[in-house]
Amino acid sequence: MQLPAGTEISARFLLFDMDGTLADSTRSVELVWGRWAERNGIHFSSFRHSMHGRRAIDIMRSIVPAHLDAEQELMTIDSDELVETDGIVPIPGAVRLLSSLPRGSWALVTSAQLSLARVRMEAAGLSLPDVVISADDISEGKPNPACYRLAMERLGCCSADAVVFEDAKAGLVAGHAAGCRTIALATTQDPSCLDEEDWLPDLSKLAVYRIDTDGCLYLRVS
C-alpha cells in the first residue's frame, strides 16, 4: 500500500540501502555489466532484472560461463564500476532527508563493496554515515538478513528501534527477516509489484518533523 499523506513513522535509527534507495546508479551499472555481457556473448537482458539488490559476486556466479572464473571476471567489473560514475544522481529527496538526520542515527546497508559505495555516494553528492555495512562485511548477501542485523549491532539497537528503506525485492525480504519495519521505494520496481509492502515513490515526500531528546526520530509523509 502506498503510504498516504499524513502517515507518521517513528524510529531511533534508519537503515538505508544505497542503489535505488539513496543513489540512482542504473546508467553506470547497465553500461559496465552490459559491456561485459556483450564481450562474453551473453544477452544482458537475460539477467538484467535479477541483478538489483544482490552482491556482485552472487550475480557473477549465477551467470558466468563455465570456462571463465567468476572472481577473475568480477575484478574487471569492479575496476570499471569505480570509474564509471557518469549519470549517478541522488534519489529525489535523499539529500534533504539525510542532511536533516543527526549523525549516528542512520546506517548505509549496501550490497556493493565499500570502495564502490564511497564512489557512488560521493558521485551522488551524499555523505557516508558512521556505520556502513557493505559486501565486504558479510558472507551472504541479501535476501539474507545478516547485513541488517550487523548494522543494528553496530548501532547498538534492536529491530523495534529501526526502520529499513529498500527498493529491491532481495533487500525488502532481508529487512523483513531482520524483524524491522521495512518501507519500499518504487524507484526500480513497478508499484504493482509492491502491493504487499508499505511503499513510497521516492524520498521526496518524507521529512523529519521532530527529534526527541532521547534520539527518537519522527517523520511524516506529505
Active-site option among 17, 24, 167, 202: 17
pTM of the model: 0.88
- Residue 67 CB-density burial (10 A; 0-12 exposed, 13-18 middle, 19+ buried): exposed
**Per-residue pLDDT at 57:** 84
Per the annotation, the verdict on 78 as an active-site residue is no
The stretches of the chain forming alpha helices (DSSP H) are 26-39, 56-63, 70-83, 94-99, 114-123, 146-155, 169-177
Could you tell me which of 115, 98, 214 has the C-alpha nearest to residue 161? 214
Provide the sign of the torsion angle of the four alpha carbons 57, 75, 136, 164, taken in this order: negative
Domain ranges of the chain: 8-25+89-221, 26-83
- The strand pairing partners of 207, in sequence order, are 220
Annotation marks residue 130 as catalytic: no
Q: Which CATH architecture has domain 8-25+89-221?
A: 3-Layer(aba) Sandwich (3.40)
Catalytic residue (choose from 19, 24, 167, 202): 19
Predicted confidence pLDDT, tens digits, the chain (222 residues): 999 999 999 999 999 999 999 999 988 888 888 888 888 888 888 887 777 767 788 888 888 888 888 888 888 888 888 988 989 999 999 999 999 999 999 999 999 999 999 999 999 999 999 999 999 999 999 999 999 999 999 999 999 999 999 999 999 999 999 999 999 999 998 999 898 999 999 999 999 999 999 999 999 999
